[in-house]
Amino acid sequence: MKKGSWRDRGADRRRHHNPGWQRDHSSHRSQEERYGSSVPGTSRNVQAPPADSTSSSSRASAPDLPGFYFDPEKNRYFRLLPGHNNCNPLTREGLQKEQQESQRVRLLREDEQPRKKSPRVGLNSTLLFQKRHMGLVAESSYCRLIHELKVTSMRRHKLEVQSSDSTSPNTDNFKLIVADSACERVFTVNDVEHGGCKYGIMNFRGCSKGSLSVEMCDNLYFTNRKVNSICWASVTHSDSHVLLCLVGIAQTPGCVSLLPASLFSNSNPDQPGMLCSFKISTAWSCAWCLNPQADKNFSTGLSRRVIVTDAVTGRRQTYGISSDVLAQQFALRAPVLYNGCRSGEIFSIDLRQRARRGNSWKGGRFYQESAITSVRILHDENYLIAADMLGKIKLWDLRMSRAVQQYEGHFNEHAYLPLHVNEPERLLLAVGQDCYTRLWSLGDGRLLRSIPSPHPAGKDSVPSVVFSSQLGGRSGLPGLLMAVCQDLYYFSYNSDYQDGTLCPEGESN
């Protein structure tokens, strides 16, 4: 080989592979330099690549860039700032909250329209009645569709709570409201700004003309402890007392208090009735037994224990378990207690059997995927509805220990949220952690409506609701009662009351 020939071959290789050694080094530049950073400071934005003017879908399908958010309206990328020390940082959490708030406001505006569009074509009472008269709709389908029509037509009204002391309006957020069996009284728990709770009773009165009045009792009680669970108790007569589970603080142990409802009466009688308190460690849940075979007995669900107590004698029966009991309810026909645990287990206890070692005293046992937050037994006592912290709501057949129905749409990640069942109207209700109140058809699991909260969603503004066919007693009104922040709202379930003034003190929204 001649001298220098290897140099010529190397030159030929460089000429043949010219694109390789002259490649673009722009990949070493930052994303901001490539797309153009036009705004200095922490909230820089990045111009999106040119979009096709003939198609709007190109903007919606813009490629994801790590650390950037694409706004389809402005056709621009905005930088997401991870730190919390920046001025006005743009984060994914903030953007998600902003979108949720705009959706809530939009749904509220739609609900306030005088004639809300039906969610289904042909869903109106006149057409349904005609189809039923001609035999085109089965009786069961007709009832379900009528309930769906009523639910979608519910409108919001604000209630003014009357009080003898009108100079001190309610300034504390509602935390819980629980109605008695007649829905004439509602026990309320409010969070107090300086810590602790205050609780009392609101009296409801309704009439067939469509008026609903609310009166708050004068005797409000304050406690520096947190109220974990409450239920109505029938000691001397139906709903004569209220059972409260109070969480212990510092050196003060937790307790379960049995308070006579007459304590909260404006008349303030001299002898309110039976009043007692049972020292007990932190109780997550409580339930009152109405079966005569376990008369005046109540249960408390604790950490790794279930305690059944006789309210008159104070005698206790303890059942040891392996998890925390977060939800409880007694059956009516038999003295059987159903429990929902943090482990996802649901089991029953028959009080007619003595406690045994191990788990041999447990009746039916089945599981859901996450911690149980609420259990509700249907009237025939063959079915149970349970909700968990993954947002799953299931209908269980107790005879087969098998889930036969699931109610989709509920949102929960870690909150302790209750379920509400109204069998006369065939409805299931639940308030999600996103502050939406959802109503399902109890029979087929269809989601009928999602009601946004009148207040912006937040950890301390989750609504508490009550639904009844007779709010205010026998002459009361059917509908939904919602307590959120410091306000009380009523959603009429009967279209006959939609256009009238709800009450003289009320403010129609």
Is pLDDT larger for residue 414 or for residue 232? 232
- Residue 362 has a pLDDT of 76
- The H or E element containing residue 230 is strand 227-233
Token pair, residue 76, equals 């621009």
- Residue 418 has a pLDDT of 93
Distance CA 285, CA 296 (A): 17
| Most confident among 83-92, 110-119, 132-141, 142-151 (mean pLDDT) | 142-151
Contact by Cβ (8 Å): 106, 69: no
Is pLDDT larger for residue 497 or for residue 476? 476
**Any residues with CB less than 8 A from the CB of 20 and at least 6 apart, and which?**
none
Over the stretch 290-320, which tens digit does the pLDDT of each residue have? 999 998 999 999 988 999 999 988 899 999 8
- Residue 360 has a pLDDT of 64
Distance of CA 188 to the CA centre of its chain: 17
Of 80-94, 245-259, 375-389, 461-475, the range with the lowest mean pLDDT is: 80-94
Token pair, residue 223, equals 């406690």
- Cβ atoms within 10 Å, residue 338: 24
| 388 has pLDDT over 50 | yes
Of 70-79, 88-97, 373-382, the range with the lowest mean pLDDT is: 88-97
Is pLDDT larger for residue 54 or for residue 352? 352
| 504 has pLDDT over 60 | no
Token pair, residue 262, equals 């007459």
Closest Cα partner for 459 from 191, 142, 264?
191
Domain definitions of the chain by residue range: 121-153
Is pLDDT larger for residue 220 or for residue 66? 220
Residue with tokens 């004439």: 184
Closest Cα partner for 204 from 172, 241, 177, 173?
177
% of residues, the chain, pLDDT over 70? 75
Mean pLDDT, rounded, for 165-184: 81
Of 371-375, 393-397, 440-444, the range with the lowest mean pLDDT is: 440-444
**Average pLDDT for the chain:** 79
Mean pLDDT, rounded, for 411-421: 92
Token pair, residue 99, equals 């979108």
Mean pLDDT, rounded, for 242-268: 82
Is pLDDT larger for residue 22 or for residue 325? 325
- Cβ atoms within 10 Å, residue 483: 23
Mean pLDDT, rounded, for 168-176: 79
The C-alpha angle with vertex 144 and arms to 155 and 141, in degrees rounded to 5, equals: 145
- Residue 353 vs residues 151, 168, 320, 340, 493: alpha-carbon distances, Å: 44, 52, 15, 20, 44
- The H or E element containing residue 5 is helix 5-16
- Residue 170 has a pLDDT of 67
- Residue 505 vs residues 159, 205, 318, 338: alpha-carbon distances, Å: 7, 13, 50, 42
Contact by Cβ (8 Å): 450, 436: yes
- The H or E element containing residue 244 is strand 241-246
Kindly indicate the confidence band of residue 30, based on its pLDDT and cuts at 50, 70 and 90: very low
Closest Cα partner for 463 from 430, 423, 420?
430
- Residue 249 has a pLDDT of 76
Kindly indicate the confidence band of residue 120, based on its pLDDT and cuts at 50, 70 and 90: low
- Cβ atoms within 10 Å, residue 300: 27
Q: What share of the chain is helix, strand, coil (3-state, %, to 5)?
A: 15, 40, 45
Over the stretch 135-158, which tens digit does the pLDDT of each residue have? 777 777 777 788 888 888 888 989
- Residue 294 vs residues 157, 266, 310, 311, 364: alpha-carbon distances, Å: 42, 33, 8, 11, 20
Over the stretch 392-406, which tens digit does the pLDDT of each residue have? 999 999 999 999 999
Kindly indicate the confidence band of residue 465, based on its pLDDT and cuts at 50, 70 and 90: very high
- Cβ atoms within 10 Å, residue 216: 20
Q: What is the edge-to-edge ordering of all strands in the sheet holding 156-159? A: 464-471, 477-484, 487-492, 156-159, 507-508
Query: Strands 161-162 and 212-216: what pairing?
Result: parallel
Mean pLDDT, rounded, for 65-82: 73
Is pLDDT larger for residue 430 or for residue 194? 430
Kindly indicate the confidence band of residue 163, based on its pLDDT and cuts at 50, 70 and 90: confident
Of 57-71, 88-102, 247-261, 337-351, the range with the lowest mean pLDDT is: 57-71
Q: How many residues make up the chain in this entry?
A: 509
Distance CA 146, CA 425 (A): 10
Distance CA 191, CA 179 (A): 18
% of residues, the chain, pLDDT over 90? 39
- Residue 329 vs residues 348, 376, 450: alpha-carbon distances, Å: 10, 7, 27
